[in-house]
Amino acid sequence: MTQQRLTHGFGYGIGATILMSLFMLVATVTGASPMPEPIPKAVVATLFGSGLPKPVLLVLVVGLHLGYGGFFGAVLARVTQPVTIWKGLGLGVVLWAVMQLTFLPFLGWGVFGIAITPKIAVATLVLHVVYGGLLGWALDRDAVIQTRESPTAAD
């Protein structure tokens, strides 16, 4: 059962990351994003250099972002039972805080993106709430479905 929880958590984590990333992409394309570029892209470019060929950059950005989201989905599924939307939201807020205190300063954007604009903190909080809320909801629903499908001792 633990392996199944990890697998489901990883899968739902990837799904939640995809949805969060779609919001981020729409905001970037429409000019509504306060960030100079998507944070996963900025992190990869900073780590590996901005001279990477675009296809390699894209594969690294997508792979690392989905892997990160999937990993924390599996972590949530493993360390909490039952998973609830509130626990998912809590994870989203914790991941947001870690990003604000580590990744943004690493990029030179300052703590909470203050070197660029404080709007970054708000925008990224919204994205992480989307991720955590969806992840918690999906894992909670999955547990309900698994409970209904599993045979009981009375059967």
137 neighbors 84 (Cβ within 8 angstroms): no
Average pLDDT over residues 3-22: 95
pLDDT of residue 154: 43
- At 153 the pLDDT is 42
Angle of helix 54-79 relative to helix 39-48, nearest 10 degrees?
Answer: 110
Least Cα distance to 140 among 76, 70, 55, 82 occurs for: 82
Q: What is the pLDDT of residue 143?
A: 66
What per-residue confidence (pLDDT) applies to 152? 53
pLDDT of residue 141: 86
pLDDT, greater one: 49 or 149: 49
Compute the average pLDDT of residues 98-114.
Answer: 97
Q: How many helices (H) and strands (E) does the chain have?
A: 6, 0
* pTM attached to this predicted model: 0.88
Q: Tens of pLDDT along 27-86?
A: 999 999 999 999 999 999 999 987 899 999 999 999 999 999 999 999 999 999 899 999
At residue 153, what is the residue type? A
| Higher per-residue confidence, 148 vs 81 | 81
Cβ atoms of 14 and 69 within 8 Å: the answer is: yes
Q: Cα–Cα distance between 101 and 35 in angstroms, integer?
A: 16
Q: What is the pLDDT of residues 109-129, one digit of tens each?
A: 999 999 999 999 999 999 999
